[in-house]
Chain A
């Protein structure tokens, strides 16, 4: 009997993969636990000899084994969702056992690292710069330039820090990479170490990802000799969203409160423990082994559009029929991703809004679905690609409530270092309530005779809207980091596109 392959990704497990695997074993099958293909609506997905069956339950085991199951989706690799992708970073998704060094080496693993060892620092920096790879965490800063800065910084001691604090809702590519292909991240970090002359790397991983922590620790132990003398360790976060911001991540790594640092100095010059430090996202570092493989840099550069080069692992999330991971070259339109690939909403109702780039990304109206997936195009549309997550909402979504949530989230997760974010977020949530209540009358204190300088007229909705706009401007321009600085994106976009959800009249 051929081998039954079932993912051990935490998403598959949350959907019941462990019970399914146990049922197959009970039926006498040999089960191999592999990484996830990224077709989440089909999880737990069973693969036998290349054919897929999903979503399967223990009750489906007999029918799958005797070939009579109605869950048959045909050959997985030829499924339109997979066949349409250009998988570089996720080339091994669904194909390998995550902690098998044998599988990793057999699928081209360590080729980039071995080649990089022969190239030397200057040539590695040149190739990474040539590839056009930009930071996948959200800021989109060219990785090659950052690495050059660290490589040329003075000092013997340098660090590679991987930002694996993937806190944005609607994103899970870092988690999938670490759970499904952890050696790729090890290899990418080891290459970064060679490039800048760093001997030690930290993976700052959020505590909400216990499976990823276990897999990364396992992978580090198994590959220690291969990447030696480069040393790696996992540092576990403690539930603070703001620690995904690179400077607060560095503070947290040092054992301090996760407060944001003012820049300059850049982390590239004074980062972890005051030493020059490369801070890159999981996806950035995991793209490096491919780039350093023979001809990888030119291939990477040939993909994408304008200054957005290579591929982006897009994450389709929220109320979407075909949710999952879709890696493709930059330039694909938002509408294609949501409607054609994602299949529209899972509920079957029309799409009302999509939020791109996590909690700090703008809510896009379907009339902007022509927008190409490209850093500059999104910036021009007052939006951001962020970490590449797309969260779909159907027409039942209350965008006023979502705008309020954006402020609430900012208030809950603010590090408290700068005033616009710490106080603005709280005041913002109150203002949204007042707008939704239709303005407000003055309270008892304001009307007291002693307060004769205070205005006594009731505040109208328009007054409060004006105040939110001013507040958003202050937060955008005055916050130290993206948490306070980008919270205005979801708020203002929701107010602009769906004023009726705030009890406001639509402006013609």
Chain B
């Protein structure tokens, strides 16, 4: 199936919902790894919106990206509670281990604030990280 047909299928699957745009974009992001211009246009057409409106939504949210990135992603929480538990001291270790192979991204809070520093890879979360553990995680990502 071509991606255009698949995008239309995803739009149709959510058409009965109220306010279907975010659920559609989540599905597209999960399936294609990004929401590019072409996808924006197709979604706009399916929902009877302008492409500007769809682009405005895609660019507003941190979870959606305009181009695919094949690198594995490691999210590190750098919000207050993890800062209080020393996340800033181990970020350089993570960056060294990541190099250009792994995409490190900052998130603000994974909701594990009593056992930080915390990281997330996919749907798995990891806590009580130190320099050694974060390096292992990044290298294994």
Residue numbers of A with Cβ under 8 A of B are 10-11, 13-15, 40-41, 43, 166-172, 174-175, 207-211, 233, 235-241, 252-259, 273, 315-320, 323-324, 346, 355, 358-359, 389, 391-394, 397, 402, 405, 409, 412-413, 415
Chain A residues whose C-beta falls within 8 Å of the C-beta of B141 in the assembled complex: none
A254 and B19 contacting across the interface, CB-CB below 8 Å: yes
Knowing A14-B127, A239-B62 touch, does A172 contact B113 (C-beta < 8 A)? yes
Knowing A238-B61, A238-B63 touch, does A255 contact B80 (C-beta < 8 A)? no
B125 and A10 contacting across the interface, CB-CB below 8 Å: yes
CA distance A389 to B53 in the complex (A): 36
Among B21, B61, B83, B109, find the residue whose CB has the most chain A CB atoms closer than 10 A.
B109
CA distance A204 to B22 in the complex (A): 11
Chain B residues whose C-beta falls within 8 Å of the C-beta of A166 in the assembled complex: 109, 111
Chain A residues whose C-beta falls within 8 Å of the C-beta of B85 in the assembled complex: 318-319, 346
Chain B residues whose C-beta falls within 8 Å of the C-beta of A14 in the assembled complex: 112, 115, 118, 125-127
Question: Closest CB-CB distance, B23 to chain A, in whole Å?
Answer: 7
User: Smallest CB-CB separation from A392: which chain B residue?
Assistant: B84
User: Smallest CB-CB separation from B106: which chain A residue?
Assistant: A412
B115 and A323 contacting across the interface, CB-CB below 8 Å: yes
User: Smallest CB-CB separation from B49: which chain A residue?
Assistant: A255
A405 and B22 contacting across the interface, CB-CB below 8 Å: no
In B106-141, the 8 Å CB interface with A consists of 107-116, 118, 120, 123-128
| Given A208-B110, A402-B83, A413-B108; 13 other pairs, CB 8 A cutoff | A41-B115, A169-B81, A208-B120, A233-B17, A238-B25, A239-B61, A239-B63, A255-B21, A258-B60, A259-B60, A315-B113, A315-B114, A318-B84
A318 and B80 contacting across the interface, CB-CB below 8 Å: yes
Contact with A along B11-29 (1 / 0, CB 8 A): 0000001111111011000
Chain B residues whose C-beta falls within 8 Å of the C-beta of A319 in the assembled complex: 84-85
User: Smallest CB-CB separation from A166: which chain B residue?
Assistant: B111
- The number of inter-chain residue pairs (CB within 8 angstroms) is 153
Contact with A along B44-71 (1 / 0, CB 8 A): 0001000001001100111110000000
Knowing A170-B80, A254-B19 touch, does A208 contact B64 (C-beta < 8 A)? no
B26 and A236 contacting across the interface, CB-CB below 8 Å: yes
Question: Closest CB-CB distance, B11 to chain A, in whole Å?
Answer: 12
Contact with A along B96-108 (1 / 0, CB 8 A): 0000000000011
Tell whether B7 is near chain A: CB-to-CB under 8 Å: no
Chain A residues whose C-beta falls within 8 Å of the C-beta of B23 in the assembled complex: 235-236
B56 and A257 contacting across the interface, CB-CB below 8 Å: yes
Sample of 18 A–B contacts (CB below 8 Å) = A11-B115, A14-B112, A14-B115, A14-B127, A15-B127, A41-B115, A169-B82, A175-B111, A209-B111, A238-B25, A241-B108, A252-B22, A254-B19, A257-B57, A258-B61, A273-B19, A318-B113, A397-B83
9 cross-chain pairs, A with B, having the tightest CB-CB distances, nearest first: A323-B114, A255-B21, A169-B79, A239-B62, A317-B113, A238-B61, A318-B84, A14-B127, A238-B63
Chain B residues whose C-beta falls within 8 Å of the C-beta of A255 in the assembled complex: 19-22, 47, 57
Chain B residues whose C-beta falls within 8 Å of the C-beta of A211 in the assembled complex: 123
Among A43, A169, A174, A324, find the residue whose CB has the most chain B CB atoms closer than 10 A.
A169
Question: Closest CB-CB distance, B62 to chain A, in whole Å?
Answer: 3
CA distance A123 to B25 in the complex (A): 42
Question: Closest CB-CB distance, A240 to chain B, in whole Å?
Answer: 5
CA distance A393 to B22 in the complex (A): 37
User: Smallest CB-CB separation from B22: which chain A residue?
Assistant: A255
User: Smallest CB-CB separation from A207: which chain B residue?
Assistant: B63
User: Smallest CB-CB separation from A406: which chain B residue?
Assistant: B80
Chain A residues whose C-beta falls within 8 Å of the C-beta of B19 in the assembled complex: 235, 253-255, 273
Chain A residues whose C-beta falls within 8 Å of the C-beta of B111 in the assembled complex: 10-11, 166, 171-172, 174-175, 208-209
CA distance A13 to B124 in the complex (A): 8
CA distance A346 to B114 in the complex (A): 10
CA distance A186 to B126 in the complex (A): 29
Knowing A11-B127, A255-B57 touch, does A316 contact B114 (C-beta < 8 A)? yes
User: Smallest CB-CB separation from B14: which chain A residue?
Assistant: A255
A240 and B115 contacting across the interface, CB-CB below 8 Å: no
CA distance A412 to B53 in the complex (A): 21
Contact of B60 among A10, A167, A240, A358 (CB under 8 A): A240
Question: Closest CB-CB distance, B115 to chain A, in whole Å?
Answer: 6
A320 and B108 contacting across the interface, CB-CB below 8 Å: no
CA distance A273 to B19 in the complex (A): 8
B22 and A170 contacting across the interface, CB-CB below 8 Å: no
User: Smallest CB-CB separation from B61: which chain A residue?
Assistant: A238
B80 and A169 contacting across the interface, CB-CB below 8 Å: yes
User: Smallest CB-CB separation from A354: which chain B residue?
Assistant: B84
Question: Closest CB-CB distance, A248 to chain B, in whole Å?
Answer: 10
